[in-house]
Amino acid sequence: MSEVKRTILERIRLRIGSDVPDELLEDFIQIVQDRINLRLAPYSPTNFPTALDSIVVEVVIAMSNKAELHHEGVDNEKVDVYSMKFIQDLLKPYLEDIDLFRQTLIPEEAKVRGGGIKFI
């Protein structure tokens, strides 16, 4: 496991303790990083950007909580007066942050300036 993933795992453990196996958390970390990289495309960096680690931590914790309750794939659940609704796209609250970071990856020559494209 890379040092970056180890640091992310330590941050997750600080919040949720040791009930969830490391192998499952490592898988969740990889899934979240893969999904974020898809959203950064076509400008995905070779190494996962540490600036987005906090998003990975928060989404993995949400995935872990959902898995711990055995509610993966469930939209909502209602028992008597108790109701629980699950977020399906766990990255959705972070899309603006991911897009802002993505903008920093776009090479200057690829950015549109002045509201149009300049042909040479």
Average pLDDT, the chain: 82
What 15-22 contacts at long range (C-beta under 8 Å, 24+ apart), as own/partner pairs, is 15/57, 15/61, 16/61, 16/64, 16/65, 19/68, 20/64, 20/67, 20/68
Instruction: Identify the band that residue 73 occupies on the pLDDT scale cut at 50, 70 and 90.
Output: very low
Instruction: Identify the band that residue 94 occupies on the pLDDT scale cut at 50, 70 and 90.
Output: very high
Average pLDDT, integer, range 70-82: 61
Nearest CA to 12 out of 61, 59, 62 is that of 61
pLDDT of the residue at 117 = 57
Instruction: Identify the band that residue 17 occupies on the pLDDT scale cut at 50, 70 and 90.
Output: confident
What residues are paired with 83 via a beta bridge?
Answer: 78
Instruction: Identify the band that residue 7 occupies on the pLDDT scale cut at 50, 70 and 90.
Output: very high
- Contact call for residues 37 and 50 (beta carbons, < 8 A): no
pLDDT of the residue at 44 = 82
Instruction: Identify the band that residue 47 occupies on the pLDDT scale cut at 50, 70 and 90.
Output: confident
